[in-house]
Amino acid sequence: MKLSNCYYILVEIMKNSKLITLLKTFSKEEMRSFGKFIDSPYFTSGRNLKPLFTILKRHHPKFESSQLSDRRILTKLNPEEEFDKNKSAVYLRVLFSEMTKIARDFMATEVYLSNERNYERRMDLCAALRNKWLTGEALKVLDETKKILDAENKAENYYYRQIFLNWTIMSALKEKDNQLSAHEYEINNIFNIYACMFTFLKTTVNNLFVGKYRSNTRFRGFEMVESFIRSFDVEMFKRVFDDDEFESKNQVLYNYYLIKSRLDENDKESLLIPLELFYKFFDKVSHISKWNNFISLNNRFIGRSRMDRMYLIKANELIDFVLRNGLYDFDENVYVDLSIYATALRIKAYLLNAETLKKFINKYSGKVSPKYAPDIRIFSMAIYNFKIENFEKCLELTSKSDNFDVNYKINKYKLKMCSLFELGYYEEAHYAVLAFERFMNRKEKIGSLLKKDTLEFIEGMKKLIYYKTHEDRRKIDSESLRDLHKNTIFGDWFIKKAHDLK
C-alpha cells in the first residue's frame, strides 16, 4: 500500500475519531499528564501507544487535517514493517481504539484523584480494607471520613453521602459485634433518609410543576407526593430529632415547607416559614446551597407576587438579605446573575421610591457581565425615568439597540409603548402596539404564562389608545385595566390610566 494512501486513511480516521474528540478537550497540562499515564505499564499493559501519542501531540489542540502533512507518520509507527493494503487501515483503527480506552481511563482517574472525590476515595479504601478483614482500620477511615464530611459546608449531596456512610459504619460495627453502636447509627440514618428525600422531592416537585404549566399535564405519581407531604407529621419530626450545629433539622423543614407551599398556592404560612429558616441556616451551608435555596425561595415569592403585594415585600427582603450577607461577594471575574438583577430591579422599581431605586442601580448594574452591563444600565435608567415620569428620556433610552433576549425586550417594549402614550404620540403608540402584538404571536418559544400576560398588556394598551382617539368612550371598560399587571410598575400605571377614564 502506498504511503500516501495510508496518510489519507489516517486523515479520515482522525476527522471522525472519538479519540480526537476527547483529546481536543485536553489542556496542555492534561496532555502532559496523559503522556505520563501512557508511559505507566500499570495502566497500559497492551501495545506501546507512546509513538502514536508523540505524533498526535504535535497537532494538539486543533488536530486539523491540513496539518497532517508528514508522510512519514505511518512509517514512524512501525518502521520495520511495510503496510499491507488490507491490514493498514485496520491496524490504525485498532491503535486509535486502544488509545481511546486509555484516554477515558485517564479522564476517570483524574476525576477520582481530584479533591472533590475525596469522599469516594475514602469509601473505596474502606471497602478494600474490609475485603482484607481489616475492619478496625476500616472503622478508623470511616470515622475520619465522617469528620471531614461534617466539617464541610453541606452541599446538596451531603445527606445522600451520610446515608451510605452510616450504612457502611453499621455494617462494619456488626462485623466487630458492636450491635448497640450500630443501632445508634441506624437511628441517625432515619433522619438522613428524610433529609435526602425532601431534598430530592423539592427539585422533583418544582420540575413537575414547571412541566404542568408548560404542557397542562398532571404527571403519574404526583398524587403519591401530595399524599406523603400531607400525611407527614411535622410536629413529631420536630420532637424526635434534635438540631445540631449545622441547623440540619431546619434545612429539612425548609425543604418540607417549600414543597408544601408548592402543592397549595393559597397556603401563605408554608412559604413564610422557609424564609425564616433560610435566615437561620444561611451561614451553615455551602455557597452553592445558599445560592440554590435563594433561587428556590425567590422564585416562589415572584410566582405569587400577583396574588398579594406581601410576597413582593418578602422577595425584596430576601434579596437585600443575600446582598447584605455576601452571596454576591465573588472574585472580580464572577458577576451578578443577569436574571437575578433584573428580578431585583423589577421588585425595587415597584416598592421603592425613585432615589432609593437609583442608588440600587448605581451600586449593582455595573456588577453584571461586561457583555450586558452597558445595556442593563440603559434598561435600568429607562425604568428609573419611567418611575419619575420623565417619559421623554425613557423613550430615548428604550429606543437604543441591545443584546438582550426576548424576555428583556418585552419589558423594554412595554416601557416604550407607555412612554409614547404619555407623550401624546397616539398614532405611533398604536402602530407600536400592533407591531408588538405580531412579534409576540410569532414567538413560539415564549412561556405560555408570559405570553398570556403580555397579550393582556397589549389589549390594555389598545383600550387606552382607543379612549384617546375616539369620542365614544362608553365602550371602554375602565375597571378591567385595574387588574392588569398587578403589583408591578405597569400595574400602577394602568390603575392611574383607569382613573383618568372616569
Instruction: Give per-residue pLDDT as tens, 96-153.
Output: 888 899 999 999 998 888 876 688 888 999 999 999 999 999 999 999 988 888 776 6
Segment of 203-212, 363-372, 472-481 carrying the highest mean pLDDT: 363-372
Instruction: With respect to residue 447, please indicate whether it lies within any of the assigned structural domains.
Output: yes
Residue at grid coordinates 479520515: 12
* CB atoms near residue 403 (< 10 Å): 10
Q: Is the model more confident about 475 or about 59?
A: 59
Choose one of 113, 130, 165: the last residue of a domain.
Answer: 113
The pLDDT tens digits of the residues spanning 294-336 come to: 988 998 898 888 888 899 999 999 999 998 887 765 445 567 7
Do 315 and 347 form a contact (C-beta atoms < 8 A)? yes
The pLDDT tens digits of the residues spanning 229-285 come to: 989 999 999 998 888 887 889 999 999 999 999 888 888 888 999 999 999 999 888
The average pLDDT across 51-65 equals: 80
Do 270 and 261 form a contact (C-beta atoms < 8 A)? yes
Predicted TM-score (pTM) of the model is 0.73
The pLDDT tens digits of the residues spanning 30-52 come to: 999 999 999 888 877 777 888 88
Cell readout for 287 is 455557597
Distant-in-sequence, close-in-space partners of 105: CB < 8 Å, separation ≥ 6 = 37, 43
The pLDDT of residue 206 is 78
Q: Is the model more confident about 89 or about 57?
A: 57
Rounded to the nearest integer, the mean pLDDT of the chain is: 83
Instruction: With respect to residue 54, please indicate whether it lies within any of the assigned structural domains.
Output: yes
Do 87 and 37 form a contact (C-beta atoms < 8 A)? no
- Residue 154's DSSP bridge partners are 285
The pLDDT of residue 237 is 93
Choose one of 73, 90, 113: the last residue of a domain.
Answer: 113
Residue at grid coordinates 410569532: 442
Instruction: With respect to residue 231, please indicate whether it lies within any of the assigned structural domains.
Output: no
Instruction: With respect to residue 202, please indicate whether it lies within any of the assigned structural domains.
Output: no
Dist CA 75 CA 3 (whole Å):
8
The beta-carbon contacts of 299-307 under 8 Å, at least 24 apart in sequence, are: 300/258, 300/261, 300/262, 300/271, 301/271, 302/343, 302/347, 304/265, 304/271, 305/347, 305/487, 305/488, 306/486, 306/487, 307/265
Instruction: With respect to residue 142, please indicate whether it lies within any of the assigned structural domains.
Output: no
Checking phi first, is residue 361 left (phi over 0); if not, alpha (psi -120 to 50) or beta? alpha
Instruction: Dihedral sign for Cα 345, 351, 356, 358, please.
Output: positive
Instruction: With respect to residue 482, please indicate whether it lies within any of the assigned structural domains.
Output: yes
* pLDDT over 70 percentage in the chain: 83
The pLDDT of residue 257 is 94
The pLDDT tens digits of the residues spanning 396-443 come to: 999 987 777 777 888 999 999 999 999 999 999 999 999 999 988 887
pLDDT-based confidence at residue 207 (cuts at 50, 70, 90):
confident
On the question of pLDDT at 476 being above 60, the answer is no
Our count of domains for the chain comes to 2
Full residue range of the structural domain in which residue 462 is found = 405-502
The pLDDT tens digits of the residues spanning 245-257 come to: 878 899 999 999 9
Instruction: With respect to residue 230, please indicate whether it lies within any of the assigned structural domains.
Output: no
Instruction: With respect to residue 282, please indicate whether it lies within any of the assigned structural domains.
Output: no
Choose one of 64, 90, 113: the last residue of a domain.
Answer: 113
**370 preceded by a cis bond (ω within 30 of 0):** no
The average pLDDT across 214-241 equals: 80
The pLDDT of residue 83 is 52
On the question of pLDDT at 473 being above 60, the answer is no
